[in-house]
Amino acid sequence: MPATVKRAPQRTCLACRKVKAKRELLRLVRTPDGAIEIDPTGKKAGRGAYFCRLPECWEAGLKGNRLENALKSKLSNQEREQLLSQVKELLKGA
């Protein structure tokens, strides 16, 4: 890619596998101390995964073990539920 062409960074939604501009997605991050958090800024350090800003993608993504594989971390049902309710709140305000 020529250096003069500026392109928005793109990421793939872990649930639906669609490639979108990074700013259209919402990031989930495993912080260096092992906590799993939503990262609305996309700037936190740690291993991340991206989902569309759609509750259905988060629901699908939080269900299986794809997310655990992406983050290389185990998620309890309680953590999944907490993250999902946090995301829903966040998407409501968006």
Tell the smallest beta-carbon distance from residue 74 to Zn ion (Å).
23
Tell the smallest beta-carbon distance from residue 17 to Zn ion (Å).
7
Q: Which residues form the interface with Zn ion (CB under 5 A)?
A: 13, 15-16, 52, 57
Closer residue to Zn ion in complex, CB, 7/17? 17
Closer residue to Zn ion in complex, CB, 46/61? 61
Closer residue to Zn ion in complex, CB, 36/57? 57
The C-alpha atoms of residue 84 and residue 79 are separated, in whole angstroms, by 8
Give the residue carrying structure tokens 């250096």. Answer: 3
Tell the smallest beta-carbon distance from residue 56 to Zn ion (Å).
8
Of 19, 18, 73, nearest in space to 46 by CA = 73
The C-alpha atoms of residue 18 and residue 46 are separated, in whole angstroms, by 22
The residues near 34 (Cβ < 8 Å, ≥ 6 apart) are 73
